[in-house]
Amino acid sequence: MSRRFVWVVAVLALSFVAVLIFTYISTFGVHRSLDQGVWGAFGDYFGGILNPIFALFAFLGVLSSLDLQTRQIKQLARDKHADEILQVIKDIDARLTKLQETYVGHTSGIELHITHMVAESERVAKGGAASSTYKSFVQISNEPGAVLEAAVREMAMQIDTMCRFMQSYPRSEENSYAPMIDYYATKASRLTPMLKDIGILSDSASKFFEARAAGTSRNKCDVALNPVQG
């Protein structure tokens, strides 16, 4: 309860008392008396008017307290839901990181992994020419039964799942995501150019992560995991 609210209630209460005293004096005048009956009538006058008013204030205070408790309970449930979604997103991020360590091949004595192909796809997406290694990677990733095909297919499914969970994450009053969600969305969006080149990323997830990377959040992902063939 804020100090300003307490002051407002105090001022209102004193105002009611002042109005009652003014009304009483203007109606009956000022006559000092030692008669107990006069004082009893004076008390009945004040009590009969102020008691219901103060009782109403007390009732409104109880309603306000219940409303505040209800909102706090809803906020706790909202925070718990958001935390559960965040834990799922973190788990998906860990899985994606592990999948990027999948061995692709080697060149000039250097081992290549999917993480190198991710960087190459970003370069190609910016207008660079695709290397022979990257072209070979894309081709092998479309061969059923290949180790790389299984790895990138799993990555696409994890990206689609992350998309759905991010869409269900509670947003702020400004319709924006929490910074942590923006971080994981931006991180996952780096994988979308490669998955699109391979042709296994759903259109809905592609739009969502492209929008997040561009700083918007208007696109929503579908529930079904329907890969788009390139």
Q: Encode pLDDT of 16-69 as tens digits.
A: 778 777 777 777 667 676 767 667 776 776 777 777 777 877 887 788 788 888
Q: Are strands 103-107 and 110-113 parallel, antiparallel or unpaired?
A: antiparallel
Q: At what angle do helices 147-167 and 114-125 cross, to 10 degrees?
A: 70
Q: Do 137 and 179 have their domain in common?
A: yes
- What's the domain count of the chain? 2
**Do 65 and 86 reside in the same domain of the chain?**
no
Q: Give the sign of the dihedral formed by CA 179, CA 167, CA 84, CA 80.
A: positive
Whether residue 176 sits in one domain with residue 110: yes
Residue 227 has pLDDT above 50, yes or no: no
Is residue 193 included in any domain, yes or no?
yes
- Is residue 1 scored above 60 in pLDDT? no
Among 43, 72, 101, the domain-final residue is 72
In a domain, 27, yes or no: yes
pLDDT digits (tens, 9 = 90+) for 61-96: 788 788 888 888 988 888 898 899 999 999 999 999
Task: Note the pLDDT of residue 230.
Answer: 37
Q: Are 37 and 91 in the same domain?
A: no
Structural domain containing residue 174 = 82-213
> Residue 230: inside a domain, yes or no?
no
**Same-domain status, 93 and 40:** no
Which of 51, 72, 93 is the endpoint of a domain? 72
**Tokens 């306000």 sit on residue:** 64
Amino acid, res. 79: D
The answer to whether residue 188 is domain-embedded is yes
pLDDT digits (tens, 9 = 90+) for 208-219: 888 877 764 444
Position 165 in a domain: yes
Q: Is 220 inside a domain boundary?
A: no
Buried b (16+ CB within 10 A) or exposed e, 11-42: eeeeeeeeeeeeeeeeeeeeeeeeeeeeeeee
